[in-house]
């Protein structure tokens, strides 16, 4: 995705909320930060100008400038006079390792006790951050799945996953009937290692709309990579959770 594609979305002009405590500049900042943090806007991408942002979001130039200044202060972008602003953030969170068997049991239980709604399921060229993780070329495609998971009709999880193509077994329809782990097993995929990190983020316009919460609310962000028996990255997942609806429990052995 490029900023040109992102800012062409006609919904952006109505996306900001003036009746919430979060200032408009901070809502713009949160939206851009989340896109950069998840790798949807890749490292090195040129940022839009303040004028382009103000037009896309229907805000003043001062509001757009404050959002850009905050991104720069937190190290997400660099701003250089005469050369514009560019994304300089690369996600390099320390990864936590957990036994694979326990993780799969947790995923199976989650799938049985909740329901999922598919938003996007398609073959697509992933953003640069994901290309680098998978070690693939700029024109190679992966399977992108964007879903929301609900409990008792209320959304609590927003998932963006990228997966190597395994054929017809992995489809949008199959996700309604089986968990992804069950589908991978049926396809003969032997998963050997899982690496994951858990951090915090804030809801932007995208995640706030899907999870039915105001912008600027705290969220849990899970970054998970699953590797096959050959040590190749097979699947990557960004999972964003409402902390008022979901929590992570960890148990450590002292042996």
Residues 120, 234, single domain; the answer is: yes
Residues 107, 74, single domain; the answer is: no
Domain boundary, last residue among 63, 87, 111: 87
Residues 135, 74, single domain; the answer is: no
pLDDT tens digit string along 89-107? 875 543 333 343 444 434 4
pLDDT for position 150: 86
pLDDT for position 102: 41
pLDDT for position 14: 67
pLDDT of 88 strictly over 80: yes
Domain boundary, last residue among 87, 104, 135: 87
Residues 103, 61, single domain; the answer is: no
- Judge contact between 14 and 209, C-beta under 8 A: no
Q: pLDDT-derived band of residue 56, with 50, 70 and 90 as boundaries?
A: confident
Q: pLDDT-derived band of residue 110, with 50, 70 and 90 as boundaries?
A: low
Ordered alpha helix ranges (H), 17-80: 24-37, 50-57, 61-73
- Judge contact between 214 and 205, C-beta under 8 A: no
**CATH classification at residue 73:** 1.10.10.10
Place of tokens 């782990």: 181
- Judge contact between 215 and 244, C-beta under 8 A: no
Is 193 domain-assigned?
yes
For 53, list phi and psi in degrees, rounded to 5: -65, -45
pLDDT tens digit string along 202-241? 888 788 888 888 777 889 898 999 999 899 999 999 999 9
Q: Tell me which residue range forms the domain holding 179.
A: 96-241
> What are the Cα distances from residue 190, in Å, to 181, 184, 253?
10, 8, 26
Residues 77, 101, single domain; the answer is: no
Is 249 domain-assigned?
no
Residues 75, 186, single domain; the answer is: no
pLDDT for position 2: 66
Is 190 domain-assigned?
yes
The count of residues in the chain is 255
Is 251 domain-assigned?
no
**CATH classification at residue 143:** 3.40.1410.10
**Domain count of the chain?**
2
Is 182 domain-assigned?
yes
pLDDT tens digit string along 112-160? 457 888 999 999 999 888 999 999 988 899 999 999 988 877 888 999 9
Is 252 domain-assigned?
no
pLDDT tens digit string along 155-209? 889 999 999 999 989 999 888 888 888 899 899 998 888 888 888 888 887 888 8
Residues 82, 187, single domain; the answer is: no
Residues 53, 161, single domain; the answer is: no
């Amino acid at each position: 995705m490029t900023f040109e594609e992102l800012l062409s979305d006609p919904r952006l002009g109505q996306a900001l909320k003036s009746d919430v405590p979060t200032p408009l500049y901070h809502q713009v900042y949160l939206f851009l930060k989340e896109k950069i943090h998840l790798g949807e806007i890749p490292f090195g991408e040129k940022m839009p100008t303040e004028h382009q942002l103000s037009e896309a979001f229907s805000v003043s130039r001062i509001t757009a400038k404050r959002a850009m200044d905050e991104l720069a202060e937190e190290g997400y972008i660099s701003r250089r006079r005469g050369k514009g602003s560019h994304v300089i953030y690369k996600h390099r969170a320390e990864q936590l390792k957990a036994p694979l068997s326990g993780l799969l049991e947790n995923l199976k239980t989650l799938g049985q006790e909740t329901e999922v709604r598919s938003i996007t399921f398609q073959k697509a060229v992933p953003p640069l951050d994901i290309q680098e993780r998978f070690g693939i070329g700029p024109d190679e495609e992966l399977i992108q799945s964007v879903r929301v998971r609900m409990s008792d009709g209320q959304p609590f999880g927003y998932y963006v996953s990228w997966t190597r193509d395994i054929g017809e077994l992995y489809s949008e329809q199959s996700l309604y009937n089986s968990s992804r782990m069950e589908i991978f097993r049926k396809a003969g995929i032997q998963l050997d290692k899982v690496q994951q990190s858990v951090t915090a983020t804030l809801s932007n316009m995208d995640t706030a709309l899907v999870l039915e919460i105001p912008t600027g609310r705290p969220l849990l962000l899970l970054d998970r990579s699953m590797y096959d028996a050959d040590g190749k990255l097979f699947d990557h997942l960004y999972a964003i959770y409402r902390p008022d609806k979901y929590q992570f429990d960890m148990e450590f052995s002292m042996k």
